[in-house]
Chains A and B, each alone.
Chain A
Amino acid sequence: MSTFLTARRLRGVITGTAVAALVLGTAACGGTTRDDAAADDSSGSGSSASANPDAEIPSGLKIAFLPKQLNNPYFSVADGGGKKAVDALKGDYSEVGPTEASASSQVSYINTLTQQGADVIVTSANDPNAICSALDQARSGGAKVVTFDSDTDPKCRDLFINQATAEGIAHTQIDEMAKQIGGAGKVAILSATANATNQNAWIDLMKSYAGEKYPQLEIVATVYGDDEDEKSFQETQGLLSKYPDLKGIISPTTVGISAAARYLSGSSYKGKVALTGLGTPNQMREYVKDGTVTSFALWNPADLGYLAAYAGAALSAGQITGAEGEKFSAGDLGEYTVGKDGQIVLGDPTVFTAQNIDQFDF
């Protein structure tokens, strides 16, 4: 009566299940380690086709924008720029994407675009690898893939539109901060997600550049607001209570900087703790005008989306293949040249201050 069949049977079933799972996992082959994997990893694409610079861009190209997440003001503006270009090219524009910026959430959208037969997919990757195999499937289905803002593994896309060189972005933000705090003091970084490709690259460069050029400027912490307004707001609050002598905050993400500015402007730290980073003029206008923020930087995301759409159309039409040195025309932005590893650099970031901010509307 005391030991009913349950426990023993259940254990048997569970062991059976676990064994089945084990067999399943082990079935493929014997002893695969990281060392043999390199040999297994043959190169992905290899553009064998040759470019025809005079090819016409056909009308009706299906060009889809897949940002890191929807309802993020930065990507809304970038995609808006893309729409302008697609309209100018008489293409068929669409914007799809997940509501949360997670690595895997983009995959099902790429799959959908593959199924719909998109000609060009313009995307910004939440994870450089997680969307790779989905992009491979899209490309074998005939789509051209252009990444912008955050790149994937170069094997998985045709072109990457780089907003500015990482050095340019990192140096601008450190220089602006140093200017505001006199080159010395404790500074913290409020980033996006802990995995964000470009933010992490910039942060590394910021640290090494600050170490060389401003030895008195000490970066004491990096916190992550996950590109969520509320979390960024709370992280700002946390930084200021943890480091009472903090001189400044650098937030290399548009969601982070506006949340931090909102916190600072309503607190006693307003005007005492410097804030700079990457933000959009429309988000930051009131904080620049009320004195919370002296300066911040950004490239024009609308131009970024615009250039990405033109590059995608040029690829799809066969004007370019993604090889270094090829040239194409990007409408109002003029002519661009494909750089090394299929990269195209948009240009230098713009610094916004009280003097020039009213000239920009995005």
Chain B
Amino acid sequence: MALDTTPGPVAGNATPPPARGPRGFTLPTGSVITTFLVLFLLIASFSVDGFASTRNSGFLLLDVVVIALIALPLTLIVVTGEIDLSVASVVGLSSAVMGKLWFAGLSLQLIIPLCLLLGAVLGAVNGLLVTKLGLPSLAVTIGSLALYRGLAFVVLGDQAVADFPRSWTTWAISSYGGSGIPHAVVPLLVLVAVTAVVLHATPVGRALFAMGNSEDAARFSGIDVARTKLWLFVAAGVVSALGGVFWTLRYGSARADNATGLELQVVAAILLGGVSIFGGSGGLLGVMAGALLLASVRNALQLVNVPSDVLNIVTGALLIVAVVGPQVTARLRRRTRPRSAPA
């Protein structure tokens, strides 16, 4: 948005309606945050002792994996103008179920598909409540946030199951050779690529943006809005359950309170990445950059011994700037333009 000097966009701006035109889903917001990320990584590498080491990058990436993973389906949901706040509770519930089944003697090869299936069911419940009953997704998923977390405590109570095989838990935290790239990053990148293609290069992706801009218009152009949204919630459930499996292996501990509050970090990454919370605009590149930036800032500040209360203030402020910034510039632009014409 800051680079509006080329003739094309300026011409586009001449149209009066303030709604986001097709320009909304080009890259600007994503590239701003990506530039910011690259700059930050460069500065931190030179000025923070140990930040650029392979060991530290491994630690950092491990902290991002689950957030980035869940951000994939959630970005699609936010683009359509909906939200799913139950993702972290799905992580917790699938972790608890995984622990319970493991304790009962099932094999991990059976448990993992079962957990993903569970995720699909949990997502479908959200999706059906939103699409069939027409309830706002914010209300539905605040409810299931509490419900699924509660179920997790029903399953595992205050117990922790921790005797997962060392070969699996070691895999989850170790890297390829000495590279500082955790094993989980490669499958994650595959999923990122798939999601990016779907969102930015297929009719499905265009349909999602269309739904976010105007649901009625999307419906009239033949998009099955309800069905699409239902499947998005199912996808969010499955992916969150996968996140739960990975979380459990990474920490070697299945617990009902795993990943409590993670939904806010995922939503933070998405908003920081320039996706509009009202739907209709945003890009996956920005979201991934947002997730990495939040984690890198935390990591670098920890390395220079900034206390954690200050860390929360910094990340919170960063988020507000990221969300408010585009709004303010948009409003300023809108205010300066139409007023000159009528008055």
B residues within 8 A CB of A4?
203, 207, 221-224
| Contact across chains for A115 and B231 when beta carbons are under 8 A apart | no
* A4-B224, A130-B251 known; A31+B107 contact, CB < 8 A: yes
Complex CA gap A99/B316 in Å reads 14
- Choice from A21, A38, A111, A132 contacting B242 with Cβ under 8 Å: A21
CA separation between A9 and B197, bound complex, in Å?
13
Interface residue? A266 (CB, 8 A): no
Q: Are B203 and A6 in contact (CB under 8 A)?
A: yes
Contact of A115 with B238 in the complex, beta carbons under 8 Å: no
* A35 touches B (CB below 8 Å): yes
Q: Which residues of A contact B50 (CB under 8 A)?
A: 115-116
The answer for the CA separation of A193 and B235 in the assembled complex, in Å, is: 32
By the criterion CB–CB under 8 Å, are B305 and A96 in contact? yes
Does the CB pair B228–A6 fall under 8 Å? Answer: yes
Q: Which of A13, A28, A41, A98 contacts B194 (CB 8 A)?
A: A13
Q: Nearest residue in B to A26 (C-beta to C-beta)? A: B109
Is the CB–CB distance between B202 and A9 below 8 Å? yes
| Contact-size category for A | 35 or more
B108 proximity list for chain A (CB < 8 A): 25, 28, 32-33
Known A-B contacts A13-B204, A25-B112, A31-B109; the reply to A7 vs B194 at CB < 8 A is no
* Interface: B319 (CB within 8 A): no
| Residue of B158, B168, B191, B204 touching A32 (CB-CB under 8 A) | B168
Question: Is there contact, CB below 8 Å, between B258 and A103?
Answer: yes
Pick out which of these stretches binds chain A: B139-147, B286-294, B306-314, B331-339: B306-314
Asked if A194 CB lies within 8 Å of chain B CBs, one says yes
Contact indicator B309/A70 (Cβ below 8 Å): yes
Output the least CB separation between B120 and chain A (Å). 7
A103 to B247, CA, bound (A): 12
Chain A, Cβ-Cβ closest to B303: A112
The chain B residue sitting closest to A71, CB to CB, is: B309
Q: Give min CB distance, A197 to chain B, whole Å.
A: 9
**Are A103 and B308 in contact (CB-based, < 8 A)?**
no
B56 to chain A: which residues have CB within 8 Å?
Answer: 111, 115
Query: What is the chain A residue whose CB lies nearest that of B170?
Result: A133
A40 touches B112 (CB 8 A): no
* Residues of chain B with a CB closer than 8 A to A1's CB: 222
Asked if B171 contacts A28 (CB within 8 A), the reply is yes
- Decide: B302 and A108 in contact? CB cutoff 8 A: yes
Asked whether A24 lies within 8 Å of B187 as measured between CB atoms, the reply is yes
B149 within 8 Å of A by Cβ? no
Which of B27-35, B98-106, B277-285 forms contacts with chain A?
Answer: B98-106
Q: Does B257 contact A (CB under 8 A)?
A: yes
Instruction: Say yes or no: is B169 at the interface (Cβ < 8 Å to chain A).
Output: yes
Q: What is the size category of the interface that chain B forms with chain A?
A: 35 or more
Q: Could you tell me if A14 and B234 are in contact, using CB atoms closer than 8 angstroms?
A: yes
Chain B binding site: helix, strand, loop or mixed by DSSP? helix
Chain B residues in 8 Å Cβ range of A13: 194, 198, 204
Q: Mark A1-24, 1 if CB is under 8 A from B, else 0.
A: 111111101110110111011101
> A129 contacts B187, CB within 8 Å?
no
Find out whether the CB atom of B113 lies under 8 angstroms from the CB atom of A22: yes
For residue A159, give the distance in angstroms from its CB to the closest CB of chain B: 21
Contacting B298 at CB < 8 Å: which of A2, A29, A108?
A: A108
CA distance in complex: A79, B309 (Å): 17
* Other-chain residue from A108, A128, A131 in contact with B160 (beta carbon distance below 8 A): A128
Smallest CB gap from A39: residue in B: B165
CA distance A312 to B232 in the complex (A): 51
Q: Which of the listed residues A29, A195, A200 has the most CB atoms from chain B within 10 Å of its own CB?
A: A195
Q: Is A21 a contact of B299 with CB atoms below 8 Å?
A: no
A242 contacts the other chain (CB 8 A)? no
Does the CB pair B165–A17 fall under 8 Å? Answer: no
Which of B160, B194, B203 meets A20, CB within 8 Å?
Answer: B194
Contacts A9-B204, A129-B160 hold; do A2 and B167 have CB atoms under 8 A apart? no
Q: Which residues of A contact B305 (CB under 8 A)?
A: 94, 96
Bound together, the chains give a CA A35 to CA B55 distance in angstroms of 33
> Can you spell out 24 A-B residue pairs with CB atoms less than 8 angstroms apart?
A3-B224, A10-B204, A20-B187, A21-B116, A25-B109, A28-B108, A32-B167, A34-B103, A38-B163, A40-B166, A42-B166, A70-B308, A96-B307, A100-B261, A103-B253, A109-B302, A112-B302, A116-B50, A127-B251, A127-B255, A132-B252, A133-B251, A133-B252, A195-B257
Q: Which 9 A-B pairs have the closest CB atoms?
A: A194-B158, A129-B162, A25-B112, A111-B59, A130-B251, A37-B165, A130-B253, A129-B253, A4-B222
Contacts beyond the supplied A4-B224, A109-B302: 12 A-B pairs with Cβ under 8 Å: A6-B203, A7-B228, A9-B203, A25-B109, A40-B166, A41-B165, A103-B253, A104-B258, A127-B160, A127-B251, A127-B253, A132-B252
